[in-house]
Structure 1
Amino acid sequence: MERFLLPDPLPVSGNLPEQWLRFKKQFTQFIDASDKADANAKTKTAILLRCIGDKGNDIYDNFTFEGVPTFDDVIAKFDEFCRPRVSVFASRHHFLTMKQNDRSIDDFITALKKQVRECAFGDLRDDMVLHALTLGLDQERTRRRLFETKNLDLEKAITLCRLAEDTEGEMRKLKLNEEVQAVYKTRQKKAKRRPRSQPTHTSSNKADKCGKCGTEHPPRQCPAFGSECYACKKKNHYAKCCRAPQAQSKAKRVYLVDGDSDSSILRIQVDKEGRRLMATINVSSESRSAPTALRCQLDTAATCNVLSVTDYRLLGSPPLRASTSNLTMYDGSQVPSKGRCSLTLREIDQREEILIFEVVKTRHATLLSLDTCLKLDLIAVSEHVSLVEDRTNDIDAAITEYADVFTGLGCLPSEYNIEIDTTVAPVQNRPRKVAYALKDEFLKKIEA
């Protein structure tokens, strides 16, 4: 037994169910390797308690057995104690809403198979994994191909997904090689310049940058033709090429992200006098595992995360994946996306969140979208609505509310005894006029 290293003790903190499964696997390998698999229950239990550490011994001391426990009884008690206390419905909801999130197909399938163990699907386990795999894929083309395949099962779906992933990687390498060759040829042309003493002439067939759209294009094919400038509201040019004096001060950079799936909108507003909400988060990448502080701007009008090139380099330039989204301004000008990268955010409770960022060459701060801000509890949306009731003081409402005041002739509720002084000479005065509205009631009262 001394020839083999003992398994690591059961950790004191962390995810107990996963730690117990890992320890149980290491302990089983250790028993088999040390020829103790056929030992009696007392010996194997003693070895287990020697390897499991102080926390495991404290847990064992609280177990109760009927009679002399066997080794399988001890393992069953630990399995029952370390079993995750999670609702089956919650596990199924988490399983059915899992997304690939730029992970490889193999990693995504491993995560699905690990989560499906807690869902109690029984014989439908493979079918549910196939269902969750199809819904959680990043590539819409791969999902469409799975839908079109007849007699699809899990193994066939995994094969098709791996083939699509390998093909996408090869196409990305091919595109990268073409870009490198194009840059190399351009540099060769620049090296063949004429001496300064000789006058240089611009070739007539070389396309210059257009003053209307800012790009190079053949004659009479300007993409800005017919569009309206966002700055001066005039036709046939973009705001970035606008020559109006007030164009730069009025322009607000608003981007539209067009993708194969959901559309994402991000907004970058440059306002020196305005107030910006900033947050600092600790993220890590595939190139740099150590947490790096990243200062971000909270943009509630954005629906995608945007990472500036400067912050991308500070994070160690993690691997970029091809982006299926096109960033364009509302005035039609293009904003190229260099790619999409994944960053891991570790929260205070040791949970990890995978954030997807579009890498854009900009000098503005990194943006966090509305969905990300809500997920990380950086902002809160109050659903409390105060009801303000505007009441009109009209005559009908007053009469209805105080009906007792406006009922009858207005007599006093009690009687009053009038005493007459006999020493005073009586005087007859003319009766006062009765209001026209009370005339009918007055006559009825007299005649009664």
Structure 2
Amino acid sequence: MPYDSLKYLVQQNKRHQHSLDHPNSPCKRIALPTELQSRTTRFTWALNLSKIPEEQHSHYACVYMGSELNDALKILVSPEDPEYLTYTQIQTKLTVHFDATRNKFAESIKFRSIMQKPEESIVSFTLRLRQAATYCEYEAFLDRMLIEQMLAGLESREMCDEIIAKKPENFTAAYEIAYALEATRNTADEVKTAVVKPDTTNKIGYEKPPFRKNGNQRPNSSSTRRYQKSPNQARYHPSNQTSKDNQPVCSGCGENHPRSQCRFLNANCLKCGKKGHISKVCRSKTTRDTNLITEDKPAENIDVVQHLSKLEVTGTVQSSPKKLIDVNIEGTTVKMELDTGAPCSIIAKSKVATIKPEFQLQKTDRHFASYTGHRINCIGKTSVNATIGTTTSNLYLYVVEGECETLLGREWISEFAQEINFERLFAKPDLIHNLSVKQPLSLEHQRQLDHILNLYQDVFSNVPGKISGPPAKMHLKNGATPIFARARDIPVALRDEYAKEIESKISSGFYKRVDYSEWASTTHVVVKKNGKLRITGNYKPTLNPRIIIDEHPIPKFEHLFHRMRGASLFCHLDVTDAYAHLEVDEEFSHALTLNTPTHGLIRPKRAVYGAANIPAIWQRRMETVLQGLENVTDLGNMGSS
């Protein structure tokens, strides 16, 4: 019917009804969930849509408003009779009484406290902001106040920073940015790329055996048991919890963050087997058939044995392989995995039978448990003679049920520490095999080698040579003026080596000292892999912005690898101080002048690292030199191979 809105108002009014005093006393306001003005407006629309004559509107209102509002109307208009009131008068009387006048300061305080709720959409959040700002009377400042409160109340700080960075002109623009960011984030969450699922990581620990209340030790058993919690212990329900700072507690892991951001969304519970939460917060009354220990143990009663049986690292970097050590146990060589997290050495019952068929087990007070709380039944320990290298010791080996890796724990590691080469065990493997001469050269071969080195002294010299051809030139931009930079100081630890390197360049004829120059740039020191210094020019603020940079394509590694496909033997030839082989003309040399803290102004006669046009000039020259040579590839400014 067209009067449903007013009926709904009456139903809500019944839920929040307050007693009304005698007509002669001031009547109390009835707390209504929605403003009466809004409800009466909708009722007026319904009357007009139903084409009810206007003179009958008041009668329809009295019939459908309900007994409670009728009683309130009688009290408000007493001693007059409501029957003779017009619809407009009834509407005015009720709205004035029930709709209290809004205080703009109080409404502004409420507006300032609005924050985005967990998992609330941007649409819903901005709608609440607009509704709250209705009675704040911000007028011309409404747009700015809406933007500021939206930024202050957003749950995602990243989204807030993104909106600020884009500087929206009005609230509509800010809303569109936030809505687009939210849609992008939701789409990214839905589209999941295929990820290699890593194998489970076993973490074994041992605990002291539990005791019964009468003091007797609980007998060792492999049967599945669970310790019962005390009756007065409150059950943990993360969905009903909040942190001290009113942050929601995730129902999937128990941490303080929204459920949508939980990293265990796709995790499988080890208690009930269901997906989406972990056993810590599982609310299921049934458990899977596992040796799950739910009793909380004091920290001092737990000694953790950490064992990684297999860990797959997703991405391009492969995981480190297991560190296996050959151990001679009772005359049999056994590969044991080095596990510094294990306090003792562990072996499966089926494996120890092959090593020592007639073994005898001794009782042990150690009970092992995995990282997830699953019990690993230790059936005892046996004494064995173990040998690593030249050291032999009689040690205990703990035997467990089922299948597990044979672990070399800390007890054995400390016993054989001198025999284990940890540096070799954890060294990075060589990815590229190098060719080396294992035997010394014969006298004849040594004579031939010396002859080749003497014949091509200029090729194998540590002093750079010179590429044939015209000297390199530069082209200044129109209106470019010289820049003179003061010398930059050098760290004291590098100063002597720095001065020695410059002196060697001057004596070799690559640099020359000058007394004055219009151009001057500071030096930049780079320590090379061999420990020597490479002195380059810091031309970025001085020369580079004022020259026209030469253009020439630099080869990409994928193109070089394609040319080397099928090759099995490689030789790398490194050009000593590559750019120093390239001469420069007088104008270019003047612009490359360096201001040093030890030798003053020096002017390079050869190309220097740091000038923006040198790489292209060098690449062009190298391609000319190597043109026509088969199976030779230029690696840019790194040399040739």
TM-score (norm 1): 0.43
- Asked which structure has the greater CA Rg, the reply is 2
TM-score (norm 2): 0.31
